[in-house]
Amino acid sequence: QKEVEQDPGPLSVPEGAIVSLNCTYSNSAFQYFMWYRQYSRKGPELLMYTYSSGNKEDGRFTAQVDKSSKYISLFIRDSQPSDSATYLCAIGGDYKLSFGAGTTVTVRA
């Protein structure tokens, strides 16, 4: 079983829709939860970072963590074509960071 599972998609939505991305993890010792955005031919860019259960908002982005279910989510409101990218979840703890395989999102104009 992989430490972090992420649906690879691809996901295609119309402009203005809400994008919902999810990851599950197996290790309850994980303490830090991150989402990265990766554009084609670029390195991953840190989008959201949290270390507690609950919601964290930053503009159109909301990160949600449910430690009891070992489940994290990223929501993108009012999606734009510029949000088209691959989104990777990353979960860390105990001096180790594990990444999901990434979900490719396309926002259609």
Partner 1 sequence: SAVISQKPSRDICQRGTSLTIQCQVDSQVTMMFWYRQQPGQSLTLIATANQGSEATYESGFVIDKFPISRPNLTFSTLTVSNMSPEDSSIYLCSVAGGSSGATNEKLFFGSGTQLSVL
Binding site for partner 1 (CB under 8 A): 2, 4, 6, 8, 31-32, 34, 36, 41-46, 49, 88, 90, 92-102
- In the numeric block, which tokens belong to residue 98? 């594990």
* Complex with partner 1: residue 74 or 79, whichever CB lies closer: 74
Q: Please, what is the minimum distance in Å from the beta carbon of residue 43 to partner 1?
A: 4
| Cis peptide preceding 10, ω within 30 of 0 | yes
Q: Please, what is the minimum distance in Å from the beta carbon of residue 92 to partner 1?
A: 4
Q: What is the DSSP letter of 82?
A: G
Q: Please, what is the minimum distance in Å from the beta carbon of residue 93 to partner 1?
A: 5
The 3-state secondary structure of 4-45, one letter per residue: EEECCCCEEEECCCCEEEEEEECCCCCCEEEEEEECCCCCCE
Q: Please, what is the minimum distance in Å from the beta carbon of residue 68 to partner 1?
A: 20
d(CA 15, CA 82) in angstroms, rounded, equals 10
* Complex with partner 1: residue 36 or 65, whichever CB lies closer: 36
- Angle formed at CA 59 by CA 13 and CA 39, multiple of 5 degrees: 50
* Complex with partner 1: residue 40 or 68, whichever CB lies closer: 40
* Complex with partner 1: residue 45 or 78, whichever CB lies closer: 45
